[in-house]
C-alpha cells in the first residue's frame, strides 16, 4: 500500500474508532439521569454497562477470525451500521428491557468494529511502525471517550434522548464514508496459518482455550485484569459523583472531558517516544501503579479541582496502558492478527462485563467499595505482569531486545 493510501486508511480507522468510543462515552454522564425516568438505579446502571461488554465478549473473536478470512472492511462497515441502529433504539426505549437490547446490540456492533480495526492497522504497518499505529488508534479511542461524555452532558440539556440519536446517525454516516473511502486491504496471513486460525466450529470457549497456548496469553490475562479494574472506576465514577457530590451531567462531563483531553494530547505526542525509550512493558507497569493509586485517592479527596486532578491522572494512566498492551499482543501475534485482536477484545470485554456488574452491586452496599476493589485488581495485574516479564520475557524490559 502506498503511503498516501496508508494515511487515508489510518485516518478513516481513527475516525471510526473515535465515533465508536464517542458513542460509548456519550452515555456516561447522561445515564444516571436517564435511568431516573425508568425508576432504576446503580444496579441497573452496572448491568447496562456490563451487557455491552458481554456482547463484545461473545462476538469479538468471531469478528477477528472472520476478518482474517474475508478482510477487515466489510465487518467494520457492518459493525458501524449495527452500532448506529442500536444507539437509536436505546434513545427510543420505553422499557428497561429495551435499554438492555440497545446496549447488547451496541456491543455486538462494537465487536465487529474494534478487532478488525486493530488487525487492519497491523496489516498496513511494519513491526517498527506498529507502536505508532496502535498509538494513533489509542488516541482516537481516548479522544472519543473524552468528547463523548462532554457532548452527552451538554446535549442532555436539549433532551435526555438526543445524545443517543446523534451518536446513532453519526455512526451510520461513518459506515457510508468507510464504504466509499476505506481501502480494502488483504489480511497479512500466511496460507498455512489460515486453517488453524479459522477452524470450523470454533466457538468463543474453544477459542479461549486455544488462546491459553499462545505466546501472548499472559498479556491477555493482563488485558482482563486491567479492564476489570479500570471498568470499576469508569462505571462507578458517574454514580459516585452523583451520589456523593450531587454532580450534574455537565459537571461529570467536564471532569471526564478535561482528563481525557490531557491523556489524548500526551498520547499523540509522547507515547511512541516512551515505547522506544522504555519499552511497552515498562509503560504498562508504571501506569498500573498510577491508576491504582488514583482510585484510592478518589475515596478521600474533595473539591472540584482536586477531583478533576485525580481523575485526570487516572485517565492519563489508562490512555498509556491500552496502546501498550495492544502493541505487544500485535507483535507476538505475527500471522494471526485478526484472532489476536479478537481475543484481545474478548478478554477486555470479559473484564468490562464483570467489573461494572460487580461495581453496581457494591455501589448499593458501600459507595467506596468498587474503587477499593478496582485498586486491588490493578495491583494484582501489576504483580502478574512484572513476574511474567522477569521470568519469561525479560527482553520486554529492554526495547532494543524486544521481540
The residue segments making up the domain with residue 367 are: 202-402
What pTM value is reported for the model? 0.71
Query: Are residue 302 and residue 372 in the same domain, yes or no?
Result: yes
- Cβ contact 163:26 at 8 Å: yes
Query: Are residue 147 and residue 277 in the same domain, yes or no?
Result: no
Q: How far apart are CA 232 and CA 225, in angstroms?
A: 11
Contacts of 191 (CB under 8 A, 6+ apart): none
In a domain, 190, yes or no: no
pLDDT of residue 104: 95
In a domain, 316, yes or no: yes
pLDDT of residue 75: 94
Contacts of 38 (CB under 8 A, 6+ apart): 44, 95, 96, 99
In a domain, 196, yes or no: no
In a domain, 194, yes or no: no
Query: Are residue 165 and residue 250 in the same domain, yes or no?
Result: no
pLDDT of residue 79: 96
Q: Which three cell numbers stand for residue 268?
A: 499523540
In a domain, 191, yes or no: no
Query: Are residue 119 and residue 232 in the same domain, yes or no?
Result: no
Number of domains the chain is built from: 2
Question: Which among 153, 183, 213 is the end of a domain?
Answer: 183
In a domain, 68, yes or no: yes
Query: Are residue 177 and residue 215 in the same domain, yes or no?
Result: no
Query: Are residue 176 and residue 207 in the same domain, yes or no?
Result: no
In a domain, 165, yes or no: yes
Among residues 105, 76, 92, the alpha carbon closest in space to that of 174 is found at 76
pLDDT of residue 67: 85
Query: Are residue 209 and residue 161 in the same domain, yes or no?
Result: no
Q: Which three cell numbers stand for residue 239?
A: 454514580
* CATH number of the structural domain spanning residue 310: 1.20.1250.20
Query: Are residue 171 and residue 225 in the same domain, yes or no?
Result: no
Among residues 303, 280, 353, the alpha carbon closest in space to that of 130 is found at 280
Query: Are residue 208 and residue 143 in the same domain, yes or no?
Result: no
Contacts of 312 (CB under 8 A, 6+ apart): 258, 259, 262, 263
pLDDT below 50 — which residues of the chain?
190-201, 401-403
Contacts of 19 (CB under 8 A, 6+ apart): 80, 144, 167, 170, 171, 174
Question: How far, in Å, are 164, 206, 216, 340, 396 from residue 212 at the CA level?
Answer: 38, 10, 8, 12, 20
Q: How far is CA 118 from the centre of its chain?
A: 12
Query: Are residue 241 and residue 369 in the same domain, yes or no?
Result: yes
In a domain, 188, yes or no: no
Query: Are residue 26 and residue 167 in the same domain, yes or no?
Result: yes
Amino acid at each position: 500500500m502506498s503511503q498516501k493510501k496508508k494515511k487515508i486508511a489510518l485516518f478513516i480507522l481513527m475516525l471510526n474508532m473515535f465515533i465508536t468510543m464517542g458513542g460509548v462515552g456519550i452515555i456516561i454522564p447522561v445515564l444516571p439521569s436517564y435511568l431516573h425516568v425508568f425508576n432504576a438505579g446503580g444496579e441497573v446502571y452496572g448491568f447496562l454497562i456490563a451487557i455491552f461488554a458481554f456482547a463484545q465478549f461473545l462476538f469479538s473473536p468471531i469478528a477477528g477470525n472472520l476478518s482474517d478470512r474475508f478482510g477487515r472492511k466489510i465487518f467494520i462497515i457492518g459493525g458501524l451500521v449495527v452500532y448506529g441502529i442500536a444507539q437509536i433504539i436505546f434513545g427510543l426505549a420505553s422499557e428497561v428491557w429495551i435499554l438492555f437490547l440497545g446496549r447488547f446490540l451496541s456491543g455486538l456492533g462494537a465487536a465487529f468494529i474494534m478487532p478488525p480495526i486493530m488487525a487492519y492497522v497491523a496489516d498496513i504497518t511494519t513491526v517498527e511502525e506498529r507502536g505508532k499505529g496502535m498509538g494513533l488508534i489509542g488516541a482516537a479511542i481516548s479522544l472519543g471517550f473524552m468528547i463523548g461524555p462532554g457532548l452527552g452532558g451538554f446535549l442532555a440539556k436539549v433532551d435526555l434522548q438526543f445524545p443517543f440519536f446523534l451518536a446513532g446517525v453519526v455512526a451510520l454516516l461513518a459506515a457510508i464514508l468507510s464504504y466509499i473511502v476505506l481501502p480494502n486491504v488483504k489480511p497479512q496471513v500466511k496460507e498455512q496459518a489460515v486453517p488453524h486460525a479459522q477452524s470450523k466450529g470454533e466457538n468463543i470457549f474453544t477459542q479461549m482455550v486455544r488462546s491459553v497456548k499462545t505466546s501472548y496469553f499472559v498479556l491477555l490475562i493482563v488485558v482482563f485484569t486491567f479492564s476489570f479494574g479500570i471498568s470499576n472506576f469508569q462505571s462507578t465514577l458517574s454514580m459516585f459523583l452523583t451520589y456523593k457530590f450531587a454532580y450534574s451531567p455537565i459537571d461529570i462531563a467536564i471532569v471526564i472531558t478535561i482528563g481525557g483531553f490531557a491523556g489524548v494530547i500526551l498520547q499523540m505526542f509522547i507515547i511512541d517516544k516512551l515505547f522506544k525509550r522504555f519499552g511497552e512493558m515498562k509503560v504498562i507497569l508504571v501506569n498500573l501503579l498510577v491508576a491504582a493509586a488514583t482510585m484510592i485517592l478518589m475515596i478521600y479527596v474533595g473539591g472540584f479541582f482536586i477531583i478533576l486532578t485525580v481523575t485526570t491522572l487516572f485517565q492519563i494512566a489508562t490512555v498509556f496502558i491500552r496502546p501498550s498492551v495492544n502493541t505487544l499482543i500485535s507483535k507476538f501475534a505475527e500471522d494471526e492478527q485478526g484472532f489476536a485482536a479478537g481475543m484481545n477484545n474478548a478478554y477486555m470485554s470479559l473484564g468490562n462485563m464483570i467489573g461494572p456488574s460487580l461495581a453496581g452491586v457494591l455501589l448499593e452496599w458501600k459507595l467506596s467499595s468498587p474503587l477499593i476493589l478496582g485498586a486491588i485488581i490493578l495491583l494484582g495485574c501489576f504483580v502478574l505482569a512484572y513476574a511474567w516479564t522477569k521470568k519469561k520475557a525479560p527482553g520486554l524490559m529492554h526495547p532494543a531486545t524486544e521481540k
